[in-house]
Structure 1
Amino acid sequence: MAKKIYLASPFFDEEQIDRVSRAESALAKNETASSVFSPREHQHEEFEMFSHEWRIATYNGDVDAINDADIMVAVIDYVGQEVDPGTAWEFGYAVANNIPVIVVKEKEGAVNLMMGIPLTAYLTSVDDLATYNFDAVTEIPFTGEIF
């Protein structure tokens, strides 16, 4: 049975927007993904961005979507060794709630211990999301450098 996916990813610059857009497209092609919630596409435009109402709606909407998800896909391409704090929080929340996390990291380099150990599968290209079997949830451990 196809799974509901939550896509955690930064989208603050052109490179990040390109990467999450490619991830959204790849997931849309995947027959084992019944739906995808990408926070980038749920910005609560009914409220002024960064207003109190927008903040509450965004937080609650994202938490509800994670709670509703069967699986999280987390894009963790770092800037230096710094992961986006929102993505890190979403990742930790999913792990704490026993939601499998499929990590995508296209950039070379080490992975933070707190993400490298609890992840379910480690992919190095968003293109792999088009064919990953979310029904089987095959484990692919991270075996590279940890910091």
Structure 2
Amino acid sequence: MAKTIYLASPFFDKEQVDRVARAESALKKNATASSVFSPREHQHEEFEMFSPEWRIATYNGDVDAINNADVMVAVIDYVGQEVDPGTAWEFGYAVANKIPVIVVKEKEGAVNLMMGIPLTAYLTSVEDLATYDFDALAEIPFSGEIF
């Protein structure tokens, strides 16, 4: 049975927007992904960005979407050794709620211990999301450098 996917990813600069857009596209091609919630596509434009109403709607909408997801895909391409704090929070919330997390990291380099250990599968290209079987959830451990 196809899964509901929550896509956690930063989208603050051109490189990040390109990466998450490619992830969204790849997931839409995947027959084992019935639906994809990407926060980038749910910006609550009915409210002024960063207003108190926008903040509450964004937070509650994202939490509800994670709670309703079968699987999380987390894009964790670091800037140096710093992961996006929103993506890190979403990742931790999913793990705490026993939602499997598929990590995608296209950039070379180490992974934080708190993400490298609890992940279900580690992918190095967003294009792999088009063919990963979200029904089977094959485990692909991270075996690289941890910090």
For this structure pair, what is the TM-score category when the shorter chain's length is used for normalisation? over 0.9
Counterpart of 2:14 in structure 1: which amino acid? E
Q: TM-score, normalised by structure 2?
A: 1.00
The superposition leaves residues 17-67 of structure 1 with CA deviations (integer Å, 9 ceiling, x where unpaired) of 000000000000000000000000000000000000000000000000000
TM norm structure 1: 1.00
Which residue identity does 2:5 align to in structure 1?
Answer: I
> 2:118 aligns to what?
118
CA distance in 2, matches of 1:108, 1:94: 24
CA RMSD of aligned residues (A): 0.1
| Identity across matched positions, percent | 90
Q: 1:135: which partner in 2?
A: 135
Paired amino acid for 1:2: A
4+ residue stretches of structure 1 with deviation over 3 A? Answer: none
Query: What is the CA–CA distance in structure 2 between the aligned matches of 1:22 and 1:61, rounded to whole Å?
Result: 22
The residue that corresponds to 1:87 in the other structure is: 87
Mapped to 2, the partners of 1:144 and 1:98 lie a distance apart of 24
Cross-structure match for 1:105: 105
Q: Please report how far the alpha carbon of residue 80 of structure 1 lies from its aligned counterpart in structure 2 after TM superposition.
A: 0.2
5 Å-filtered alignment, 1:43-54, equals 43-54=43-54
Q: Distance in 1 between matches of 2:114 and 2:69?
A: 21
Aligned-partner Cα distance in 2 for 1:137–1:47: 37
Whole-Å Cα distance in 2 between the matches of residues 122 and 48 of structure 1? 37
Q: What CA distance in whole angstroms lies between the structure 2 residues aligned with 1:74 and 1:138?
A: 16
Instruction: Name the aligned partner's letter for residue 129 of structure 2.
Output: L
Q: Tell me, what secondary structure is at the counterpart of 2:93?
A: helix
Q: Which residue is equivalent to 1:33? A: 33
The corresponding residue for 1:12 is 12
Q: Find the counterpart in structure 2 of residue 67 from structure 1.
A: 67
Gaps of 5+ in 1: none
The residue type equivalent to 1:40 in the other structure is R
Count matched residues: 147
Q: Matched residues in 2 for 1:138 and 1:95: separation?
A: 17
